[in-house]
A and B are shown apart, each in its own frame.
Chain A
């Protein structure tokens, strides 16, 4: 069990730029989740994949956000035309089945200048 891996750990970018984050789940986990955590708050659900299918998207996920999991393994989260309000920690989690707990990565911290 190598754990959930997220890259990069930190990303600093100028407002208006596009950014992409990567998440590698635990190898046998077919369920993958993205959450966003702003300073002083708990994580908020963004989206969920079962294998390569994106089955749920939060209203928090505006049109500027897109997530993919093309081969049912790693996933990417892209934010286009970043805004100040996008500054947050983006967390990825994976689980083996519906009833099993989610295992979280260490997150990608995004800072918008």
Chain B
């Protein structure tokens, strides 16, 4: 079975500061990894994904993540955050079955940006 652990439930940072949201996963097979963002009362929006290839993945809104197979981690980073980045962030790992992906999500990290 696969699982995802997001190590911080809440991360407060000041505007224009850097941020790292941590994600560790466990899986016995090769996986795809994702970060999604959720704004209040909305669905999930894909930030970035790792399927294969370069371990440094760039996404939307200036976010990037690095896949580390030996540490089974996929941490999300942004060098300078804005007030508009305040949201819930979810890390997810996928498993494949019957021609589709089943996403397993972490519990989420609430990112709060203070002026």
Question: Which residues of chain A have a CB within 8 Å of any CB of chain B?
Answer: 4, 6, 31, 33, 35, 40-45, 48, 50, 55-56, 91, 93, 95, 98-99, 101-107, 109
Main secondary structure of the interface of A (DSSP, over half): strand
Distance between Cα atoms of A3 and B90 in the complex (Å): 20
Q: Which of A6, A35, A50 makes the CB contact (< 8 A) with B100? A: A50
B interface vs A, CB < 8 Å? 4, 32, 34, 36, 41-46, 49, 51, 90, 92, 96-108
CB-based contact B44/A91 at 8 Å:
yes
Q: Which residues of the partner chain A approach B106 to less than 8 Å between Cβ atoms?
A: 42
The answer to whether B107 and A33 touch across the interface, beta carbons within 8 angstroms, is: no
Minimum Cβ distance to chain A for residue B80 (Å) = 26
Measured in the bound complex, the distance between the Cα atoms of B88 and A104 in whole Å is: 15
Q: In the bound complex, what is the Cα–Cα distance between A45 and B103 (angstroms)?
A: 7
Q: 8 additional contacts, CB 8 Å, given A33-B103, A99-B32, A104-B36?
A: A42-B90, A43-B90, A44-B105, A45-B102, A50-B99, A98-B99, A104-B44, A105-B43
B100 contacts A31, CB within 8 Å?
yes
* Residue of B36, B41, B90, B100 contacting most chain A CB atoms (<10 Å): B100
User: With A91-B43, A101-B34 in contact, is A45–B49 under 8 Å at CB?
Assistant: no
User: What are 17 A-to-B residue pairs whose CB atoms are below 8 Å?
Assistant: A4-B43, A6-B43, A31-B100, A33-B103, A40-B107, A41-B107, A41-B108, A43-B90, A45-B103, A45-B104, A48-B98, A50-B99, A55-B99, A98-B99, A99-B51, A102-B101, A106-B43
Q: Which residues of B contact A105 (CB under 8 A)?
A: 43
A103 to B44 Cα, complex, angstroms: 8
